[in-house]
A and B are shown apart, each in its own frame.
Chain A
C-alpha cells in the first residue's frame, strides 16, 4: 500500500467513522489485564519464545515481552497469547 492510498483511506475512515483496522488493514491489539493479549489482523508469527513473541502486523512488528508465554489459539486473522506480559510495543 503506497502512502497516497493510505492517506486517502485514513481520511475516509476518519470522515465516515469506520473502524480503522478494517479499512487500513492494521492490527487491533487487545490487552486484557497483564495475562492475555489478542492480536487481530496479524500477518504471522516471526519469533516464538517463552519470554518474547514477535508478531508481524500491517503496521510493523509487534513485540510482546513477558514470561511463560503460550499461544492459546491461533487462526488466520486472530492470535491469542497468554502468560505474564511485561511489555507490548512496535
Chain B
C-alpha cells in the first residue's frame, strides 16, 4: 500500500469533501469506476472527507452528478503542488538550490591536510612539499592524482620510506613512515681502527683484537687512534684486522651558568578577556580589539564549527584568551640564585651523559658578584670512549 501512497504523493492528490445523502453509493461508484480513494472519514451525517488522486478528479464529476452530491477540494497535496509553490517563491527556491550546490561543491574540495607518522622530520616540511606537489587546501578532490603526488614526495624527501594519502571527507590525511637511519655497519670481516670519541685519560684498555696504541694513563685527544687494525710485523705482510677493544677513560665536562639576582617574574592577575574571531579559509573575520593589558599572554584555540563526520568545512571559530600578567620584581638571595643555577647545570649535564657513564666527581664553584652569581660545574666522568672506524682500503 505504501507504494501506492508514494505514487499518489508523486502524482499529487487532493483532500476532498463530499456531501450528499447517498455517500455509500458515491463510494461504490467510485471504486467500480476504478478510482482509488483512501482515508475516508465521516465529517458529519451527510458528508465525508477523502483523498483522491489528481488524475481521477475528472472522472468524479460524472459520479457526483449521478449521486446528487457536491464535492469541494479542501487541500491539494503532493509533489506537483510543492513544485508549483516553489515556482511561486522563486527567490527562496534559488537560495535553497544555491545552498545545496554550495554544500555539494564544498564537499568536493579538500579543506584540511594532516600529516601523521613523522618522528624526526618536521611535519611542516612534509606539508610544504605535499603542498608544492599539488595537495593544498582548497584543491578539488577529483583533480588529485594521489599516486603521482606520493611518488613525487617520496623522491623529494628521501628520508621517507613510505607515504600514503588518504582522503576522508574533506580532510586529506598524509601518512608517512620515516626511514630508520641505519648506523654505519662495520661487519666482522671489515677492517677497522678504534678511535677516541672524546678527549680524556685512558682508565683501562682491554684489547681483544688489533694492536693497542695507547696504554692506561695516556692522555688522548678526540679522534685519536686507540687500537689500530693495521698490523705491521717484521718479516710478514701487513695485515688489516677488525679491531675489538673496551676502552674506558676519564673525561671532563665543564659548564657555567650566570644568574642575575634581580629577577622579573610574571604573575597571573586572574583577569582575562576573550575575543572571538571567525576564520574562513585563511581569512580572519572579526574585530581585532586592542588588549587592555600591558603585559599578557595569549591562549589561542581553534575549533571547526561546521563539520559532519569527516566532512569538515573551512569555517573555524577562534577564541583568543588574554590573561593579564603583572611584573613582579624579585630579588633572589645568594643561596636561591646558587640553587637555581645548580638546577640548570644539572639538567644540562644529564643531557650530555652517555648511557654507561659513571660520575666520579662533581664540583660546583660559585663566584658571587654584586648583582649576579656565576656557577661553574666541572665533572669527572668514567665512560667508554672507543668508537670503531673503518680503515679505508687503499
Interface residues of A (CB under 8 A from B): 44-50, 69-76
Contact A48 B28 (CB under 8 A): no
Residues of B within 8 A of A (CB): 1, 23-24, 27-28, 30-32, 34, 36-42, 48, 50
Given contacts A48-B42, A49-B42, contact A74 B1 (CB under 8 A): no
Q: Is the interface of A mostly helix, strand, loop or mixed?
A: strand
- B127 to chain A minimum Cβ distance, whole angstroms, is 63
Contact B38 A45 (CB under 8 A): no
The answer to whether A72 touches B48 (Cβ under 8 A) is no
Tell me the complex Cα distance, A29–B242, Å.
Answer: 101
Report the minimum CB–CB distance from B22 to chain A (whole Å).
Answer: 11
Known: A46-B24, A48-B27. A71 touches B40 (CB 8 A): yes
CB distance from B167 to the nearest CB of A (A): 49
Q: Which of A47, A48, A72 contacts B38 (CB 8 A)?
A: A72
Please state if A70 and B31 are interface contacts (CB–CB under 8 Å). no
Nearest 8 CB-CB pairs, A to B? Answer: A71-B40, A44-B28, A73-B38, A45-B24, A50-B42, A70-B41, A48-B24, A45-B27
How close is B128's CB to chain A, nearest CB, in angstroms?
67
- Distance in Å from the Cβ of A74 to the closest Cβ of chain B? 6
Question: Is there an interface contact between A48 and B23, defined as CB atoms closer than 8 Å?
Answer: yes
Q: Complex formed: what's the CA distance from A76 to B31 in Å?
A: 5
Contact A48 to B37, CB < 8 A, known contacts A73-B1, A74-B27: no
B374 to chain A, nearest CB (A): 96
Query: A72 contacts which chain B residues (CB < 8 A)?
Result: 38-40
Closest residue of B by beta carbon distance from A56 = B28
* CB neighbours of A70 from chain B (8 A): 39-42
Q: Which residues from chain A contact B37 at a C-beta distance below 8 Å? A: 73-74
List the A side residues contacting B42 at CB < 8 Å. Answer: 48-50, 69-70
Distance A71 CA – B1 CA, assembled complex (angstroms): 14
Check if B27 sits within 8 Å of A71, measured CB to CB: yes
Nearest A-chain residue to B33, judged by Cβ: A76
**How long is the Cα–Cα vector from A44 to B38 in the complex, in angstroms?**
15
Q: Are A76 and B40 in contact (CB under 8 A)?
A: no
**Closest CB in chain A relative to B242 CB, distance in Å:** 92
Separation of A71 and B24 alpha carbons in the complex (Å): 12
A residues near B38, Cβ cutoff 8 Å: 71-74
Q: Could you list 21 examples of A-B contacts with CB < 8 Å? A: A44-B27, A44-B28, A44-B32, A45-B24, A45-B27, A45-B28, A46-B24, A47-B24, A48-B27, A48-B42, A48-B48, A50-B42, A70-B40, A71-B27, A71-B40, A73-B37, A73-B39, A74-B31, A74-B37, A74-B40, A76-B32
A45, chain B: closest CB distance, angstroms: 5
